[in-house]
Structure 1
Amino acid sequence: MIFSSLNFSTCYHLAFRARFSWLAGGSLLAVALAASLAAQFSGRQPATVALDIGLSVIRLLMTLVLVLMTQELLSREFDRRYFLNTLSYPHPRYSLLLGRFMAAAILTLGLMLLLAGALALLVWLIGKGYAQSTQVALGFHYLVTIGFIGLDLLLLTAVATLLAVVASTSSFVLIGTFGFMLIARSFGAIVELLTRNAMVVGDAESYRSGVGLLSYLLPDLGALDVRMITLYGRMELLPAGWPWLVLSSLAYTVGLLALAVWALQRKRFA
């Protein structure tokens, strides 16, 4: 079997030794405080503002959590030479890598679902206190939004896994993953801004063409942020090519994992 019960039990032991429960509790508190305080600053749309801010905090915090889990499950495996014991078991290297990736992904996505449920409950309570002209959609629209966020986090987990294999220090996993996240989540919005308003910078066309080249190298994670459909309850606000967006993101994730497996197979341990 690719993922042995021993592999999974070791992963979860390492994760909770890294105080994953404290991370989960802190994340839950941060989302609740951010959403509650944001609702106080909006007199007419408190539920919409609370949901918007809450989703932003979830996307940011979950990226930090997946990086910390990948560091604990993979980077420190090499830093502390635990691989001398782990690789002594009769299973291939890719089993170790994919098992650790699955454990980090399950922990991150499970926590995301917990935070999403808590945010939905909080927004529902806020909405009960004030009737807005435009109600937020916390049903199917919200589930679709959370699904797209989960795909975003799954791809970032694959990025962190690859960096954990090829990087010489665990700190580069944090820097590299957040750098990838910032570029992949923002370049699409920058291109769209330059297309609509060419007066933002000088020679906007060449600047837009240069930034647009990133679309051939990186997935557009900004397009996976489809919160507008739940903020305003309109499914037509989904990106026009969303099936291709989902497939390309999944393909990119598989490609990164294949590259990580290849790098681990060729990695020489001192």
Structure 2
Amino acid sequence: MQTSTNIAIGLQLSFRTNFVWLASGALVLLILAASLSAQFSGRQPATVALDVGLSMIRLLLPFVLILTTQDLLSREFDRRYFLNTFSYPHSRRRLLLGRFLASTTLTLGLLILLAGALALLAWTAEKDYAQASPVSLGLPYMITITFIGLDILLLSALATFIAVVASTPSLVLLGTVGFMLIARSFSTIIELLTRSSYVVEDPESYRSGLTLLGYLLPDLGALDVREIALYGKMQFLPADWGWLVVSTLAYVIGLLALATWALNRKRFS
């Protein structure tokens, strides 16, 4: 009951701040990017629009999530609102879980909205021009969006943890974006060094270091499975997709546990 109350409070606070403007801006940017890319594509407008649109979603949603988390948690501590919040009869754990679920629910809801708008744009582009290899807006597209949702869920847990331990709200942005860039790119860099070892002088040392990094960080780059929707071929889905889902959820649980531990030990002056 207390958790649901905290979620409701978090949702109200988000709508009173800047979430509506952030969501509207993200929707407008997505429509513009996907529409323009389809117009400038000569032979496969639907595929190009879907590809660019998915890239925009993966780029915009983390920033919406980070700014929402800053409003719900970082500024709670920065502006000393906790003096009023902690006067209510609920634990710190329930407060943290409620705010996390509120920001995650809003971001995942925006993901569904953007995914629906992008699917409509791609369907319209494909209707106007019959492609040799049509995009798949059925189950493959839903799987693609689900994996993006897992990506967002993990980033939300990370942003929540940083918001608890960081001294300033700006660290939430810097820390989450930095983690996102590394976790989304290191597997691609390893593959590049394997196929094109001439790009650096000592590729083996780079590869070993990045491989070690893979044991510490989740592979968010592997969660980008857009090829199954772009080309309608399920064989592009990673063979270890089940392990990717389990490991991502394990990171989420671990980060939330660390955030709860840090908040319970946090001293407010």
Asked if structure 1 preserves the Cα contact closer than 8 Å seen for 2:228 and 2:236, the reply is yes
TM-score (norm: length of structure 2): 0.98
Deviations 1:77-136 (A, max 9, x none): 001111111111111100000000000000000001000000000110011110110000
Deviations 1:124-173 (A, max 9, x none): 00111101100000000000000000000000000000000000000000
Question: Letter of the aligned partner of 1:64 in structure 2?
Answer: F
Tell me which residue corresponds to 1:34: 33
Count of aligned pairs between the two proteins: 269
SS of aligned partner of 1:199: helix
Question: Letter of the aligned partner of 1:65 in structure 2?
Answer: V
Q: How does 1:97-112 map to 2 (within 5 A)?
A: 97-112=96-111
Asked if structure 1 preserves the Cα contact closer than 8 Å seen for 2:66 and 2:176, the reply is yes
Q: Displacement of 1:175 after TM fit?
A: 0.5
Separation in structure 2 between the aligned mates of residue 24 and residue 65 of structure 1, nearest angstrom: 7
Q: How does 1:109-258 map to 2 (within 5 A)?
A: 109-258=108-257
Q: Displacement of 1:12 after TM fit?
A: 1.6
Asked if structure 1 preserves the Cα contact closer than 8 Å seen for 2:38 and 2:48, the reply is yes
Q: Structure 2: give runs of 5+ residues left out of the alignment.
A: none
Runs of 4+ in 1 over 2 A off after TM superposition: none
Asked if structure 1 preserves the Cα contact closer than 8 Å seen for 2:72 and 2:99, the reply is yes
Query: CA RMSD, aligned part only?
Result: 0.8
Separation in structure 2 between the aligned mates of residue 204 and residue 53 of structure 1, nearest angstrom: 31
Separation in structure 2 between the aligned mates of residue 195 and residue 165 of structure 1, nearest angstrom: 39
Separation in structure 1 between the aligned mates of residue 225 and residue 85 of structure 2, nearest angstrom: 41
Tell me which residue corresponds to 1:19: 18
SS of aligned partner of 2:197: coil
Q: Structure 1: give runs of 5+ residues left out of the alignment.
A: none
Tell me which residue corresponds to 1:3: 3
Question: Letter of the aligned partner of 1:72 in structure 2?
Answer: D
Question: Letter of the aligned partner of 2:115 in structure 1?
Answer: A
1:60 aligns with 2:64: no
Change (3 A) 1:2 1:213: farther
Question: Letter of the aligned partner of 1:21 in structure 2?
Answer: V
SS of aligned partner of 1:4: helix
Identical residues among aligned pairs (%): 68
Deviations 1:15-48 (A, max 9, x none): 0122211111111110000001111221011100
TM-score (norm: length of structure 1): 0.98
Asked if structure 1 preserves the Cα contact closer than 8 Å seen for 2:8 and 2:102, the reply is no
Question: Letter of the aligned partner of 2:112 in structure 1?
Answer: L
Question: Letter of the aligned partner of 1:213 in structure 2?
Answer: L
1:263 aligns with 2:262: yes
Question: Letter of the aligned partner of 1:97 in structure 2?
Answer: L
Question: Letter of the aligned partner of 1:178 in structure 2?
Answer: V
Q: Which moved more, 1:198-207 or 1:174-183?
A: 198-207
Change (3 A) 1:214 1:2: farther
Separation in structure 2 between the aligned mates of residue 78 and residue 176 of structure 1, nearest angstrom: 18
Q: Displacement of 1:2 after TM fit?
A: 4.9
